[in-house]
Amino acid sequence: MHTLLIKLRIKLQDLAEGVEGQDIVEYILIFALLALGATTATHFLANGLASAFNGISTTMGSYTN
């Protein structure tokens, strides 16, 4: 188990020092930006849907009274 961790550490150091490591960092940053955008879009979508359903509920409630 210990040798596996050492090999993993060496591989991660090689990636961080090489061009491949730079590509990985760029991909991680792009993924983080996309995740943030998706989270923000989902928040606005949820608020819009809640507002729409509240309007429908209010309209239907006025017909039942």
- The alpha carbon of 59 is separated from its chain's Cα centroid by a whole number of angstroms, namely 36
Residue 39 pLDDT:
94
Interval 24-50: pLDDT, tens:
888 889 999 999 999 999 999 999 999
Q: How far apart are CA 7 and CA 12, in angstroms?
A: 9
Interval 1-31: pLDDT, tens:
678 888 888 877 777 776 666 778 888 899 9
What amino acid occupies position 3? T
Is the Cβ–Cβ distance between 35 and 26 less than 8 Å?
Answer: no
Is the Cβ–Cβ distance between 15 and 21 less than 8 Å?
Answer: yes
